Amino acid sequence: MNLNFAIVGCGYIAMRHAENIIRHGKLVAVCDIVPEKAKVIAQKYQARPFFSFDEMLEQEPSIGIVVVCTPNGLHAEHSIKALQKGKHVICEKPMCISFPAALSMRDTAHFFRRHLFIVKQNRYNPPVRLLKDLLDQGRLGAIVSVQINGFWNRGKAYFRNSWKGTAELDGGILYTQFSHFIDLLIWLFGDIRKIKAFKKNLILGSDIETEDNIVVIAELENQALCSLHFSISSYQQNMEGSITVIGEKGTIKIGGQYLNTLEYIRVEGEEIMMPEASSPANDYGFYQGSMSNHDKVYNNIMAILEGGKGAHANAEDGLKTVEVIERIYHACR
């Protein structure tokens, strides 16, 4: 198995990937259109720096796996090019920012018989794993209601002189901040039957081209009612990332800032112990994001690549997330 890795896009999250790559293989090349960013990671990990993705693919044939960490709107282009060159791809969330592009990514992976993994590290949060087990084993009974909240802060400084907040490269808060929550909704509860949604740009104004608040009311395929409330207008800091589930035999709320704590649980005939401690949040400098479970992501992906079994998010999972996000945005019109 060729475990020579390359990274395209050398921002904050690329460092998290590099740390985990060297536990399993070798980082042989990095690429960024800003030379200084590529050189920093290249020097730290003795990799070749490139400033053109096409040149990296042509001039470093030893690459077996490409990790895509570029802006959202470039994920499809970079993933497809790597797949066409016969490389496996690990793509940061979101998969991309349009359903047709997601279809092209999936179909390209199938055609060239390569793996396309989408990073969904929140699936590994201990409270989320507990909820998944409860649901899979039917211990909560029929699900009646689901509420998912994400109340985070992304101020003007986050968007200044950046691709973030643009329609072309960011796509909106459901892609950049809250795609993990949409993935978990589908992974835990299945498909969505009906959607009504509202979005507004209430605080950031001309600093962004997308929304800063969105509210969704949905009916799930299992007939449960669901509400989603996402905001990047929380005052000064991230306040909450939560999932509340009401079932006929149990009720549970996962909370904290990043779906990292078990706030309460009551299940018929059971005493549920608190799960193990979660990892800290990903630190991006002047803000924090979802839980840092990239070590578990890589452990799972390596098991799959080496011929074993694993359950990490694949192209089909990523495609479904993009499809639901597009449906929500369409419902906002």
Kindly report each contact of residues 123-126 with a partner whose C-beta sits within 8 Å and lies 24 or more positions away, as own/partner. 123/183, 123/184, 123/187, 123/293, 123/312, 123/313, 124/291, 124/293, 124/296, 124/297, 125/254, 125/258, 125/259, 125/260, 125/278, 125/279, 125/291, 125/293, 126/275, 126/276, 126/277, 126/278
DSSP string for residues in 242-260: EEEEEESSEEEEEETTTT-
What is the pLDDT, as a whole number, of residue 275? Answer: 65
- Measure the CA angle with vertex 74, ends 68 and 75; round to 5°: 40
Percent helix / strand / coil, the chain, rounded to 5:
35, 25, 35
Architecture category of domain 4-121 in CATH: 3-Layer(aba) Sandwich (3.40)
Instruction: Say whether 122-289+314-331 and 4-121 share the same fold.
Output: no
What is the pLDDT, as a whole number, of residue 280? Answer: 58
On the CB side of 80, CA atoms within 13 Å amount to: 15
What is the pLDDT, as a whole number, of residue 1? Answer: 78
What is the pLDDT, as a whole number, of residue 272? Answer: 87
Maximum Cα interatomic distance, the chain, rounded to a whole number of Å: 62
Hey, what CATH topology would domain 122-289+314-331 get?
Dihydrodipicolinate Reductase; domain 2 (3.30.360)
Point out the residues of the chain with pLDDT beneath 50.
Answer: 282, 284, 286-287
Domains of the chain, residue spans: 4-121, 122-289+314-331
